[in-house]
Structure 1
Amino acid sequence: MYRKKSKAFYERMLKKYPDVMSIPQMSKACDVSSKTGYKLVREGRIDSLKIGRNLFVPKEYLISYLLIRDENNVR
């Protein structure tokens, strides 16, 4: 049975990652390809910050996405 995870779980899971991650770092943390990471940001599923030409995802934004995804039972 699928069990809902808490914010504390995701904070522990992402502890070794910086507070603001590049898309490749975020993708590695979520165990998805960089292509999928960019797609999630482009589609607006994960909020991001654009600094110059680069996109960054604050850890809090990623945790919010993971919690919403978990609520909707999306894998």
Structure 2
Amino acid sequence: MSDDKQLLHLVFGGELSDLQGVTFEDVNKLDVVGIYPDYASAYNAWKDVSQKNVDSARTRYFIVHLHKLLDPENDH
């Protein structure tokens, strides 16, 4: 196994209840796009799914830096 640390990123989204915040209308309907090994891969997935939902003004997708949550003392 390589000594390189994984920099995992989660891409997910859904319909927001308010465009000014990040409260979802229904958390049971969140779309988990996937977990990616690096930011570039996550960004490409985020961009693709965001473009597919461009006509839904209340639908937003996000990239979560899982590696920062898993290892907060080593903020890469």
The TM-score with structure 1 as length reference comes to 0.29
Structure whose CA Rg is larger: 2
Write 1 or 2 for the structure with the bigger share of helix: 1
User: Larger % of strand: which?
Assistant: 2
TM-score computed with the length of structure 2 as normaliser: 0.29
Q: Which has the higher contact order (CA 8 A, sep 6+)?
A: 2
